[in-house]
Amino acid sequence: MPNPKHMIVKAVDPSTEAAAIDLLNRFFAEESFDGNPSMIAGNLSAMLTDDNCWAALAVDNAKPVGIITASLIRDIEYGRVAEFGDLYVLPEARGRGVAQALVSAGKDWCKRKGCAAILLTITAEGDAAHGLTNFYKRFGFQVTGRMVAECRL
């Protein structure tokens, strides 16, 4: 079980990339998201070389127990805005403050990057299974009523 006194959040780097990929693969498998291990590894690798992207691990007693990813864009409405793309905590580490530590670190990174807001997508399935709307409200996120549309290229 995570111990807040022994938990740190640190940016993913080459020495922790494999652990980050393992957590993301587990996340995608558990939630039945589209994606395969090579796509996940390739996309994370690209993120790690992009100054507009960030990924961090929650590490408890030297064991990675959670991950968060964020990407920046610039638009007319917000100026600079971030999106939290992924947030995952191992089931055995949930309810111990890991997600809170990851979201807090993500917010700090976004502030340092000059973001006016952070966006995220909550799927109907994720909300039904995990109560994500209420979960994210605890961190200051508000549902806006906007819908996400996707066009794969």
Domains in the chain: boundaries = 7-137
Per DSSP, the residues of 119-131 read EE---HHHHHHH-
Say if residue 50 is exposed, middle or buried (CB neighbours under 10 Å; 0-12, 13-18, 19+): exposed
- pLDDT(150) > 80: yes
Q: Do residues 70 and 51 lie in contact, with contact meaning Cβ atoms separated by under 8 Å?
A: no
What would the two tokens of residue 35 be? 């994606």
Per DSSP, the residues of 83-99 read EEEEEEE-GGGTTSSHH
Nearest to 109 by CA among 137, 78, 83: 83
What would the two tokens of residue 16 be? 């922790």
pTM above 0.85, yes or no: yes
The DSSP code for 16 is: T
Rounded CA-CA distance 14/146 in Å is 37
CATH class of 7-137: alpha beta
Tell me the per-residue pLDDT of 17-69, one tens digit each, with 9 for 90 and over: 999 999 999 999 998 888 899 999 999 999 999 999 999 999 999 999 999 99
Rounded CA-CA distance 21/12 in Å is 10
Tell me the per-residue pLDDT of 83-124, one tens digit each, with 9 for 90 and over: 999 999 999 999 999 999 999 999 999 999 999 999 999 888
The whole-number pLDDT of residue 5 equals: 65
The whole-number pLDDT of residue 131 equals: 92
